[in-house]
Amino acid sequence: MRGVTDADFEEQVLRAERPVLVEFTARWCGPCRQLGPVLESIAEEERVRFDVVALDVDVSPDVSVKYGVLGTPTLMVFKDGEPVWSRVGARSKRKLLEELAELP
């Protein structure tokens, strides 16, 4: 799972050819650290379906503010440059995969 910043968010996420799952995270966030291995695993398993990236809200606050991120971890899926799905908080791999299965 690679990181993105305010500087490359548009290119890496909004202009991506396929959906991108973005984790809005922070180094100090315990639930974010807990979710990290889950997202790494999903990134590998679902690599054909979508990309998974992380954005540190402290390092790159502009994108976080633009999309109304108020807590970490926040997960958003962007498709064709628009957010199409979002959840706040850590969850199990099974639960997250069930939720992502709802995506078109």
- pTM reported for the whole predicted model: 0.95
Residue 104, pLDDT > 80, answer no
Active site residue 54: no
Class of the CATH-defined domain 2-99:
alpha beta
Catalytic residue among 32, 39, 57, 69: 32
Domain boundaries, the chain: 2-99
Nearby residues of 98 by Cβ (< 8 Å), 6 or more positions away = none
Percent of the chain with pLDDT over 90: 96
Residue 82, pLDDT > 80, answer yes
What is the length of the chain? 104
Q: How confident is the model at residue 1 (pLDDT cuts 50, 70, 90)?
A: confident
**Stretch 88-101: mean pLDDT, rounded?**
94
Active site residue 31: no
CB hemisphere CA count around 13 (13 angstroms): 26
